[in-house]
Amino acid sequence: MYLAGKFRYSYKKNSPKHMTVVCTIEDCPWKITARAIGDSNIVQVHTFRNVHNHCLEDVVLSQPLVRSTSASLVIDDVIRSTPEYQPRQICKDFVRQHGIQLTYLQAWQMKEKAKERIYGQTKNYYKLLPWMCERMLATNPGSSVELSYSNDNHFEKLFVAHSISIDGFVRGCRPIIAIDSAHMSGPYGGALFSATSYDANDSMFPLAFGVMSSENYEDWLWFLEKLKIVVGNKEVIIISDRHHVFKSVFNAPQ
């Protein structure tokens, strides 16, 4: 409402039982009051005066402050239908539709709030990993899926090589595997490890991937140990970016 009406509001009273919201312009009649019904989560509106009385000077002073949590409700439907909706486009649409100039950071925060409301919090996705691993093994027999947790039951490592990738590597790929990793963005970070081969047309053929905490010795050693099980006794050439941990990993006792 404050975005559509282009006004700024403030809480005159805000408690678990009663809320009063008014326009920030003095003597403006716009007002809404609501009370909770008993101990339930139902809120009943008692007063709603949807009228503003602003002069031209007041209109300038009452331009709405964009709050990412509430403003993100405006873009919920767009995020559902177009997940790749970019912050820069959000900025352009807000100027065109609401006459409000957003910063890139405000638009990014709005999109993150909308995604969290629609899809849930990122940390809850990790709880689905055991189920996802079970389903991958059940629907792709012959796959290699390994999941590792720390002593305090927090996610540590994941290794996945689908059966179709393993068969494709054995039947039609050159004995060459390129290994690499990339840092992941987001609240929890981590690194995405990958092992890629080359088929008869010299096209890249995905063999395996893993999610680790970082590019350290222990994680690379764990990933390569799982990869060795997938490759078996087949002799291969390893291509890497010569990360400093590889010297220790490849010289480790077999």
Instruction: Assess whether pLDDT exceeds 70 at residue 195.
Output: yes
Predicted local confidence at residue 70, as pLDDT:
73
**So where are the chain's domains?**
1-64, 66-119, 126-250
Name the band, by pLDDT with cuts 50, 70 and 90, for residue 59: low
Instruction: Assess whether pLDDT exceeds 90 at residue 6.
Output: no
Q: How far apart are CA 181 and CA 209, in angstroms?
A: 9
Tell if the pTM clears 0.75, that is, is over it: no
Do 25 and 10 touch, CB atoms closer than 8 A?
A: no
Name the band, by pLDDT with cuts 50, 70 and 90, for residue 62: low
> How large is the average pLDDT for residues 54-79?
73
Predicted local confidence at residue 35, as pLDDT:
92
Name the band, by pLDDT with cuts 50, 70 and 90, for residue 76: confident
Pairing type for strands 43-49 and 31-36 reads: antiparallel
Task: Give the tens place of pLDDT for each residue, 84-137.
Answer: 899 999 989 888 887 778 889 888 888 988 888 888 887 788 888 899 999 999
Predicted local confidence at residue 162, as pLDDT:
96
Do 5 and 59 touch, CB atoms closer than 8 A?
A: no
Average pLDDT, the chain: 85
Q: How far apart are CA 71 and CA 4, in angstroms?
A: 11
